[in-house]
Amino acid sequence: MEPSTRDSACFEAGIKFGALYHQFAGTPVNPDSAPSLETAIEESIENQPFCESVEVGILTDKLAEAIDHGYTELTGKFMEVEIVIDHEGCEVVTRMEMEDGYPLMKIESVQED
């Protein structure tokens, strides 16, 4: 059985999240550098095929609590992310948020034309 357009769109969303998380996890960050890092992440991932939009929110209040030497490393606990994919008319909205101490990436909605 061939994958459906829906299957392919969801797969593309997973690829984007894998790239985002594993490319940027461990990046040194502090509240002052967070806005430029948010922009860098968004613009990097938006370059990928089928990516309609990326919104990254780095939680600067949580960053500030974790800093002991001027910066900390970026992890999922400091980010909220939404990625929207449009693959052949199928829109997939995905989100990453902390759930039970884990940065859970999940599909919020799928809409086909």
pLDDT at site 113: 84
Q: Write out the H or E segment, with its range, that includes residue 14.
A: helix 5-24
Interval 69-90: pLDDT, tens: 899 999 999 999 999 999 999 9
Domain that holds residue 54: 5-112
Interval 33-67: pLDDT, tens: 999 999 999 999 999 999 999 999 999 999 999 99
| CATH code for the domain in which residue 97 is found | 3.30.1300.20
CA distances to 16, 24, 54, 64 from 74, rounded to whole Å, are 17, 7, 17, 12
pLDDT at site 86: 97
The pLDDT of residue 68 is above 90: no
On whether the CB atoms of residues 94 and 103 are closer than 8 A, the answer is: no
Closest CA to 92 of 69, 108, 70: 108
The pLDDT of residue 10 is above 90: yes
Q: Name the one residue in this structure whose structure tokens are 């991932």.
A: 45
| Overall residue count recorded for the chain in this entry | 113
Mean per-residue pLDDT, 92-100? 95
pLDDT at site 8: 96
Domain count, the chain: 1
pLDDT at site 59: 96
pLDDT at site 6: 95
